[in-house]
Chain A
Amino acid sequence: MLQRGVKILHNIEDSLLVIILLAMVTLAFSQIVMRNFFGSGTIWLDPLLRVLVLWVGLLGALVATRQDKQISVDVLTRILSEKLKVISNIITRSFAAIVSAIIAWHSFLFLIDEWHSGVTAFASVPAWLTESIIPFGFAVIALRYTFQVIVLLIKVVKGAPDQ
């Protein structure tokens, strides 16, 4: 049940990435065509494209966390023993989870302020909507790292039987 839910979430993330990137390619290209051949671009397209960069970035970061492909320094981890590696993973991932959670929480508070103030980002799109990916993204990243820590802890408690 839980596994199915996780799989659906992964599919949604992947699909969103594909849709947003293809939208960016199409919109950016059509903007160039319109500007150069018809002398007029659409005013709200440029801000929309810039927001999509933020969205594709944070969604990509979610997937990077899922695939354990976040950029990190691996000078030390390469020489650590298997056991020490698990321990250092628990420490570093907990840290990443905490930082992400703090950013998610304050972004959420920021979002509520924006919602109350009714600011618009462009056209009549409210600013809170374009910004909502920040708390959402960091919250999911925090959850992912938390899960990874739990899995690692279980492994430690069970005494790493898979060796």
Chain B
Amino acid sequence: MIIAVILLILALLGAPLFSIIGGSALWGFHSEEINLQVVTIEIYRLAEMPVLLAIPLFTFAGYLLGESQAPARMVRMAHALLGWMPGGLAIVALTACAFFTAFTGASGVTIVALGALLYPALQQAGYPERFNLGLITTSGSLGLLFAPSLPLILYGVIAQQASLDTPVNIDDLFLAGILPGLLMVILLSGWSMWKQPKGQLTTKLDGREIFAAIRESIWEIPLPFLVLGGIYGGYIAVSEAAAVTAVYVLIVEVFIKREVKLRELPVIIRESMVLVGAILLILGVSLASTNYMIDADIPTRLFETIRAHIDNKWTFLIALNIFLLVLGMMLDIFSALIIIIPIILPIAAGYGIHPVHLGIVFLANMQLGYFTPPVGMNLFIASYRFNKPVMELYIATLPFFFILLFAVLVITYFPSLSLVFLGP
């Protein structure tokens, strides 16, 4: 107990999370008098999960895309195709961000890469500044629920370790995210139409511009079809899709479009692998701590304690929503997944919650946590990027927060939204 308190204080003081989790695993095994070499064996399991290959490959591809002109081309194309609608430009922003985040995994890259393009464009179209700030900051985590987003894959990896009665398939997660993700995009689009500045001229549908935009993006357009078609069609596994994406993006951006120079490649690789390393390190040590927790029956005991107070699934889901919202403000999505999922997955299963539904609920909540005041990460990234006080961003994101909170509640209490495409 004292150890747990010390670890908690250290974590709050900013100790690297891997050391907290690793420390708790070491302490746990030590007090059970188990040889600490077991920690090495657990970390080595990182080399025994085929699907993990997808993480470095997708991250690399995402960083590479972010460094190229692909975001600008994507915005142009979205504008040509959607700009004519009421609230068109805002919807362009939402669509582009959701799409980009799905491929880059919501590590704040979206705000940095797309914000610079979309913010001035929105400003020019006459949207109020506060609306623009709120929209861009919110969109920075939109798209988490769409394949092939990294958090979805990571959830699948972790859930597979839990060996539940209902196996969790990553392809199922990709299917489950579609409707909840669309719900969020649609609700935010509706709000944008409502907030459209009066007398704003929407751009006309221009065949020539559409043609030019498509021609410019001709190399990137096949990418989603390649990846999503391959996975949803059952032709390739997730890690294979990641390999195809990495090769494709590498060839297009470096050798065909030549927007990323060969000598810039090492830095891009290094920066993307720093993120991958930080995630995998936490995952590695948490395999050890999870193993210890399951040995010590901690999830079961927690479940019994919780069940003494919460007797049904719905009350549990409300408590879960609140808990995850607070968690999402404090932890980034990757560590939250790695640390919390092994604990709550068995508990949720005890309440009869489908593990795939739990995953979608978890990620939807985390998405909200990205911009929940006072400490959501994207608030600070946007504050830094647009040079605005964080306080202004709190106010700017507030309406968006309530809209997505509503979406999260719908996603939580209507499991069929997530599970409708899954087989029986």
Q: Is B270 engaged at the interface, CB distance under 8 Å to the other chain? A: yes
A50–chain B nearest beta-carbon distance, Å? 5
B56 adjacent to A72 (CB under 8 Å)? no
**A25-B247, A106-B40 known; A96-B15 Cβ under 8 A:** yes
Asked if A102 is at the interface (CB within 8 A of a chain B CB), the reply is: yes
- The interface-forming segment of B47-55, B109-117, B148-156, B190-198 is B47-55
Q: In the assembly, what is the distance between CA of A155 and CA of B49, in Å?
A: 44
Asked whether B342 is an interface residue with its Cβ less than 8 Å from the other chain, the reply is no
List, in ascending order, chain A residues with CB within 8 A of B335's CB: 71
Instruction: Considering the complex, give the chain A residue whose CB is closest to the CB of B36.
Output: A106
**Chain A residues within CB distance 8 Å of chain B:** 14-15, 17-18, 21-22, 24-26, 28-29, 31-32, 46-47, 49-51, 53-54, 56-65, 67, 69-78, 88-89, 91-93, 95-96, 99-100, 102-103, 106-107, 109-111, 113, 130-131, 134-135
In this complex, the member of A54, A93, A131 whose beta carbon has the largest number of chain B beta carbons within 10 angstroms is A54
Q: Are A88 and B281 closer than 8 Å at their CB atoms?
A: no
Question: A63, B265: Cβ atoms under 8 Å?
Answer: no
CB-CB < 8 A to A62: which residues of B? 277
Hey, which chain A residues are within 8 Å of B40, CB to CB?
Answer: 103, 106-107, 110-111, 131, 134-135
Residues in chain A near residue B99, CB distance under 8 A: none
Task: List 7 tightest A-B contacts by C-beta distance, closest first.
Answer: A60-B277, A57-B280, A28-B243, A92-B15, A61-B277, A96-B19, A70-B16
0/1 interface trace, chain B 7-49, chain A, CB 8 Å (1 if under) = 0001111111111001100100000000111011101101111
Q: Which residues of B contact A71 (CB under 8 A)?
A: 16-18, 278-279, 282, 332, 334-335
B200 to chain A, nearest CB (A): 38
Q: How large is the interface on B (under 10, 10 to 19, 20 to 34, 35 or more residues)?
A: 35 or more
Q: CB distance A107 to B37 under 8 Å? A: yes
Contacts of B276 in A (CB 8 A): 56-57, 60
Contact of A75 among B36, B50, B275, B330 (CB under 8 A): B330
B41, closest chain A residue (CB): A110
| B57 contacts partner chain A, Cβ-Cβ < 8 Å | yes
Are the CB atoms of B284 and A76 closer together than 8 Å? no
Which residues in A have their C-beta under 8 angstroms from that of B281?
A: 57-58, 61, 64, 70
The answer to whether B14 and A88 have CB atoms under 8 Å apart is yes
